[in-house]
């Protein structure tokens, strides 16, 4: 437990002997630092000091009550404070899902503190003319889970917390046959579904770690990340949208999140790769993910 940025973060750490070569791994929703369990030993063996926080709202880390305490200034500020705690001027950052979004914005807001980027599943999101939730509501409607989280605060939180094990068991799946989406809100549907689709991504003992963490933290803190998307849109006004760091973007070919075809306009030094998997790339294909990451890092480190 580390005190940073007026909160406490639960931080997992490995490879202290590799000081001066830090890499920070940032999880997504509804996840946990444990989602990087396959990458940590491989990175340590490759000579990295691996730092893996449960970000605010997750695990045993602080869960502030104010919604605005989860905006992009706070989320990136936590990571900067973590670098300061360890005495690092900069580090390589790797993010998955929401963690990737935080890493993209970290590079915009604190470019000198990020030396390289590896992001999985979630590409850079362009700041368009309308705030993100307003835009999504027009395109996808009020049942889209990003919108629902914002327009009906507390509703999804309660349903997910009443069905924590079922929700997590249903969301961490692979090899799902594509079908027409069910009516209603995706996350609520997953929480209420008594039968899981596809195949499990992890064992029951691994899943139990996620279940235990969310039984303790609840879901409101992690959902509050979504409730700041329009606020983040305003906070990023005037911030340079171009990210110059060497970047590896890894997509899952079966992920429902679309690729961003104009990624290189905003991240000119990006290399794009993909693996034959769904959204949870580093958990679905850990060995292939590790090989791709380590080869890229070795090439970039010369």
- State the pLDDT at residue 281: 98
- Please report the sign of the dihedral spanned by the C-alpha atoms of residue 202, residue 206, residue 210, residue 215: positive
Q: pLDDT for 91-116, tens place per residue?
A: 999 999 999 999 999 999 999 999 99
By annotation, the residues acting in catalysis are: 97, 279
- Contact indicator for 89, 81 with CB cutoff of 8 Å: no
Q: pLDDT for 112-134, tens place per residue?
A: 999 999 999 999 999 999 999 99
As a whole number, the mean pLDDT across the chain is 97
- State the pLDDT at residue 302: 65
- State the pLDDT at residue 179: 82
Structure tokens given for 119: 């992001």
CA atoms within 13 A on the CB side of 224: 21
**Residues in contact with 217: Cβ distance below 8 Å, sequence separation at least 6, in sequence order:** 57, 58, 59, 60, 63
3-state secondary structure 59-87: CCCCCCCCHHHHCHHHHHHHHHHHHHHHC
Residue 30: asked if its preceding bond is cis (omega within 30°), the reply is yes
**CA pair distance 99, 135, nearest whole angstrom:** 22
- State the pLDDT at residue 170: 97
Q: pLDDT for 208-246, tens place per residue?
A: 999 999 999 999 999 999 999 999 999 999 999 999 999
**Residues in contact with 177: Cβ distance below 8 Å, sequence separation at least 6, in sequence order:** 197, 198
CA angle 231, 62, 101 (to 5 degrees): 40
Q: What is the arithmetic mean of pLDDT over 164-176?
A: 96
- pLDDT interval class at 181 (50, 70, 90): confident
pTM here is 0.96
């Amino acid at each position: 437990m580390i005190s940073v940025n007026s909160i406490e973060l639960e931080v997992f750490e490995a490879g202290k002997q590799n000081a001066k070569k830090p890499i920070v791994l940032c999880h997504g929703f509804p996840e946990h630092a444990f989602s990087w369990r396959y990458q940590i030993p491989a990175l340590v063996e490759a000579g990295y000091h691996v730092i893996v926080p449960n970000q605010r709202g997750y695990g045993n880390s602080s869960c502030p009550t104010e919604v605005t305490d989860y905006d992009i200034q706070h989320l990136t500020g936590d990571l900067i404070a973590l670098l300061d705690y360890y005495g690092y001027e900069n580090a390589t950052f790797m993010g998955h899902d929401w963690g990737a979004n935080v890493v993209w914005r970290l590079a915009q807001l604190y470019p000198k503190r990020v030396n390289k980027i590896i992001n999985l599943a979630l590409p850079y999101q362009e700041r368009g003319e309308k705030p993100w939730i307003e835009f999504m509501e027009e395109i996808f409607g009020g049942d889209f889970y990003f919108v629902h989280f914002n327009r009906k605060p507390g509703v999804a939180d309660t349903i997910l917390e009443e069905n924590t094990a079922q929700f997590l068991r249903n969301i961490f799946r692979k090899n799902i046959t594509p079908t027409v989406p069910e009516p209603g809100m995706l996350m609520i549907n997953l929480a209420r579904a008594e039968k899981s689709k596809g195949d499990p991504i992890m064992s029951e003992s691994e899943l139990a770690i996620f279940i235990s963490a969310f039984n303790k933290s609840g879901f409101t803190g992690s959902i509050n990340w979504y409730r700041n998307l329009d606020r983040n849109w305003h906070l990023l006004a005037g911030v340079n949208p171009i990210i110059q760091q060497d970047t590896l973007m890894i997509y899952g070919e079966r992920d429902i999140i679309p690729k961003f075809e104009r990624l290189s306009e905003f991240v000119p030094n990006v290399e794009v790769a993909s693996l034959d998997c769904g959204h949870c790339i580093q958990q679905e294909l850990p060995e292939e993910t590790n090989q791709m990451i380590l080869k890229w890092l070795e090439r970039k480190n010369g």
